[in-house]
Amino acid sequence: MWNKRELQRKIEEWLQEDIGFGDVTTMSTIPGTETGTGILYAKEAGIIAGLSVAEQVFATVDPALSFTSRVQEGARVEKGEQIADVSGSVRSILSGERLALNLLQRMSGIATLTRQYADAVAGTKARVVDTRKTTPGLRMLEKYAVRVGGGHNHRYGLYDAVMIKDNHIKGAGGIAQAVAAARAAIPHTMKIEVEAESLGQVQEALAAGADIIMLDNMPNETMREAVAMIGGRAVVEASGGVTLETIGGIAQTGVDVISVGALTHSVKALDISLDLNTRKR
């Protein structure tokens, strides 16, 4: 799912950023012996992702806190529905509240939006994938949230696949030159993807032996022609300005993959709140 040690390191850094030398409000207003339960609930409908992350935040603040999920990861919740509760020291609950909610809300927002995109291509062979347009420091969590929402992951970073885009083509002197150079430098287990902006470039990518061809900002009719031209000899990806309104038509062209930067770069966080000892509706 993710590197637990790396996530723990990040959580400790994020808590240090938020708490610093101490939660002065909580320490000055709440007795150290006070115990209670914080109820996490949805203030709008959506898909929940990140419950274990929220639990890890509270456990890092205070290992004595008890966190209980009331829904399954990936569940659809309605407004007012209880998501989880955390019990123990009130000071600890309040000190960990904001970071836990920040992560849970963002991950749930991504899962919710991804589910909408995945539903929009249901019945076609196209799969919805994310991009590298993620929040610095949050990529492993955001890409996980995409999977929870029913999407799939594109390459994780610059190191796990070759993706030859327009500037690489310019710098290498052409698609054939770029693919040949990459093929000579990478292991046989690694895939090569080439971005194509025209049918001519699609043909060049095919001739060069690209494993994946990305159709960049092409009209649907042109994409349909490209899919026919490729004829199953490479995986076909559509990319560029994809929206919920357009993705259905793109999927109907026969592409295999549709990449959507909006899943992570401009998503709205799902509204989730924590109330101490009470539950609002």
Catalytic residue numbers? 98, 133, 165, 195, 216
Torsion of CA 172, 175, 177, 180, to 10 degrees: 120
Alpha helices in the chain (DSSP H): 4-19, 24-29, 51-61, 90-120, 139-148, 166-172, 175-185, 199-208, 220-230, 247-251, 262-265
> What single DSSP character describes residue 36?
E
The token duo for 120 is 């929009």
For every residue of 196-243, DSSP letters joined together read ESSHHHHHHHHHHT-SEEEEES--HHHHHHHHHHHTTSSEEEEESS--
One-letter amino acid at 20 equals G
